Each structure stands twice: as structure tokens, then as C-alpha cells.
Structure 1
Amino acid sequence: MASKKHRSSGKNRTMIFSAWNYKMLALGMFLVLAGFLAMYAENEVEGIISLYISPIVIMAGYISVIIAILKHDDGSSAAQSES
């Protein structure tokens, strides 16, 4: 007979990201979207928003997404090593 594989119930699993990481990720995605929408709304190539404000907002969004992905909470690694 074929052997059945038993799966763990997942009670001991910890989340990869904390709530802070998800909030920063959402904030970064919002900033990127807002920057592109502001650039689209102005609809000028040499406008002040398109040249100066939107790129800064978009870069701030990308930086916050990168920080949200790379930041690791020290408490979560201790919880993983115990299980």
C-alpha cells in the first residue's frame, strides 16, 4: 500500500513578517502608486510635480518597501529556534 504523508497542523509555524513589516510594505506601495498617479495627473513633461515631487515620492516608496522586506525582528528568530 502507498504510505500516507502526515502534515503538521501548522500550530508551531511563525509568520515571516511582523505587523510592522506589513504596514511598511503597504505604505511603500501606496507611496509608489501615489507618485505615479501624481505624475499622470499633472500630464506635463516639464511640470514641477513630474520633475521633482513625484520621483522623490516614488523613491521613498521603493526604499520603504526594501526596508520592510529586509528588516528582521530579532524576537521572531528566537521563537523559531525554540520550536
Structure 2
Amino acid sequence: MKIKARKQGTVIFLPVPASFQIKDQQEFELKQLSDRTLQFTPLFQEIYPPIWEDDPAVISQFNQEIGSADDKSNYGLENVNY
């Protein structure tokens, strides 16, 4: 695939086709390698939702819907046969 860099003010933009499914406002770390290749690495905190900040009531409801209700006594002590 061939793209064309575009200048806007003092910044050069590289258009990314929508088929790459990059989210609006997604952040990347940019490096220029020794061979002048540009390497864009997504910053993962933007890719994965902050699941640990979800409302406990919402999590509990979800767990009930999928048949994984919390028994309120074995938190972190799942039934595992060793």
C-alpha cells in the first residue's frame, strides 16, 4: 500500500487507511530506526479499557449473566484441583 505524506503547518501527517482500524485519538510511540524506517508502537493503555475501574455492581451483574456469580466467600480462592 502506498500513502503520501501531507504537510500542515510545521507538521507532516501520514494518512492511515480506516481499514487499519486505528481509533481516533489513539496514541503511539514513534521511533525512527537506523535505516530511517518509521516505527509506530501503540500505547496499550489506550487499546485496552480500564476494566479495574468498572463499577462492582456492573461486574457482579455481568458475572451472574454468564453464570459466574461471586459466592462472596472464596474471592481469589477459585475451585481448582491441584
Q: TM-score surpassing 0.5?
A: no
Q: Which has the higher helix share?
A: 1
Tell me the TM-score normalised to structure 2 length: 0.19
What's the TM-score once normalised by structure 1's chain length?
0.19
**Which of structures 1 and 2 has the larger relative contact order (alpha carbons within 8 angstroms, sep 6+)?**
1
Q: Which structure carries more strand by proportion?
A: 2
